[in-house]
Chains A and B, each alone.
Chain A
Amino acid sequence: MEQGRAPGGVIMNLRNGIEKVLNVIIIVMFAGMVIIVFSNVVARYFLNAALAWSDEVSRFMFIWLVFVGAIVAYMKNDHLGLDILVKYLPKTASRILVVIADILVLFALSILLKGGIDMTLDSFASGWVSSAVSLPYGYIYMVGPISAFFLILEGILKIVSDLKSVFETRIGGR
């Protein structure tokens, strides 16, 4: 299956590179959340001084973690789904079904990309900033369209490899 997902060496190298960068973002955001929230617990109970910015900053890192993690999860096919129909249908039919599902996902993602760009540009334009650290909300919402963009790239790779396997079964038979 793995080589079925390899439309070309350069693209796969690029994909691995992207995955590494995304993993680093996940580690930084997650470790940051742990450190910030824990520091706040310590500050509040032992030093009697809550860190005003900790709630806000950790929530923003959480949002980034989720949207970046969603890309890596999609790369690893980890998202929750149902494959009963795909399992019980004949091979060709199920592979065609998978391609239809891929196209639907791509459609959902392009709407998400559109909505995300609109929302990000709007919030940059309005100059809306967060209350505790005065960070423009655009920097937080930005991760939505970024995530959608990389999910779309991955979705296109998936369609290419799934289409390939449709044709392979048609030519090779069962």
Chain B
Amino acid sequence: MLTIFLAALFGFVLLSVPIAFALILTTLVMMFFMHAISPALLIQNIFRGIDSFPLMAIPFFLLAGEIMNVGGISKRIVLFAKALLGHVTGGLGYVTVMASMLFAGVSGSAVADTSAIGSLLFPIMRDEGYDTKKSAALFSSAGCIGPIIPPSIPMILYGVIANVSIVKLFLGGIVPGILIGLGLMFIWYLHARKKHYRAEGKFSFRVAAKATVSAFWALLLPIIILGGIIFGIYTPTEAAVIAVVYATIVSFFVYKELKISDLPKLLINAGKSTAVVMLVCGTATTAAYLITTAQIPALLASTLLNLAGNSTIILMLVVNVLLLLVGCVMDLTPALLIMAPMLLPIVTKFGLNPIYFGVVMVVNLCIGLITPPVGNILYVGCSISKLSIAELVKAIIPNILIMIAVLFLITYVPATITFIPNLLSH
């Protein structure tokens, strides 16, 4: 049954059937082999996969991101990072990483992070004579921090599937996100040293103070979102809707860059992105229902058990390699939604913490966003930088390697993930 599932899914996907529809077809194939074809059961499970209050955080975070880009909030975040780090040698590279990390604190999506920061900073870096390929590689890989530092759309999805606390998953992503940011800065440092970039200007307290004041309302947003979630004042969904209202008010009244006439377009854009993610979520729920009924996790478990023996170290190695391979050919959302229901029963059987596993999985599949041949962020990076995929891929390899190094660090030192959630769990 596992073979049928995989052959059908990859067959349909390779034929260029969109993944949501490929999942429906795969479910039908499995129903056929199990002699239990039921169109009503199929759509019923799609509804079940969508009808959830926690998942409503996804449209709200997507909408907040759209508003921040149009309303000047993203721009203030970039200018703030530039005033602090712009004067160091190769400074704009560190600015890119820092701005991506700050933006990750308000956005839960890598595409939003990459397009916001990349489209603001890449033209400046190019004009100031930075290596275009390395700059594009940097903002693309830094954008992958978006769903690792909370809030995080993939973690919301995982939390709902695995029925674990989304807040704890969010908290677990903080240290891995910072580690990846530092790793990327280190790679950039090596590059900047080799290229002998000159330092531009001096640190000016006046400029820094001005940028901080101007960015004050923008910087308050991650504090409002994360602070409220961490201290249990409101749920992630409520935090997301607060982010929408707050971003609208600040963009409209303080920065005066958002017009009422912009709102319909932003709602439609975010609504469409929501539908794309949620349709995969719904159809993956149907597929997952059949995966469970067909006892595929048990089959997979015995295969992995043979490979790993009783060693969680080998198990996590196998799982990580498997997920990295899946990430090469599949986008983050579908990969997460398809693989999580299969792997979760196995790792819990091995006694691993589902929060820990969720964070590892999200970090792993985020790397998949920049690994060829299929990587959504590679496409975003290419469209912003006008480079070819091949040029960008070549330049991004060191960044991928450092991210894999961080992945294995957090995998084998679980405290990096679990420390903060344990500290703050009441």
Interface residues of A (CB under 8 A from B): 23, 26-27, 29-31, 33-34, 37-38, 40-41, 45, 55, 58-59, 62-63, 65-70, 72-74, 76, 78-86, 97-98, 100-101, 104-105, 107-109, 111-112, 114-116, 118-119, 122, 141, 144
Contact = CB atoms under 8 A, between A and B. Distances in A.
Interface in B238-293: 238, 241-242, 244-245, 263-264, 267-268, 270-276, 278-280, 282
A112 B18 contact: no
Contacts, number: 180
A111 B42 contact: yes
Contact of A69 (B41, B241, B274, B331): B274
Given A37-B238, A62-B59, A104 B17 contact: yes
Contact of A111 (B20, B39, B244): B39
Contacts of A82: 13-14, 16, 19, 329-330, 374
B47 A26 contact: no
Contact of B276 (A23, A68, A79, A122): A79
Nearest to A36: B241
B373 interface: yes
Contact of A30 (B18, B22, B242, B267): B267
B275 A118 contact: no
B387 interface: no
A78 B12 CA distance: 17
A80 B329 contact: no
Nearest to A145: B43
B248 to A, nearest CB: 9
B267 A41 contact: no
The 7 closest A-B pairs by CB, nearest first: A69-B275, A115-B39, A79-B18, A115-B43, A81-B18, A26-B271, A108-B24
A115 B38 CA distance: 7
Contacts of B63: 30, 34
12 contacts: A62-B55, A66-B275, A66-B279, A68-B275, A72-B275, A73-B272, A74-B18, A80-B280, A82-B14, A112-B42, A115-B41, A141-B47
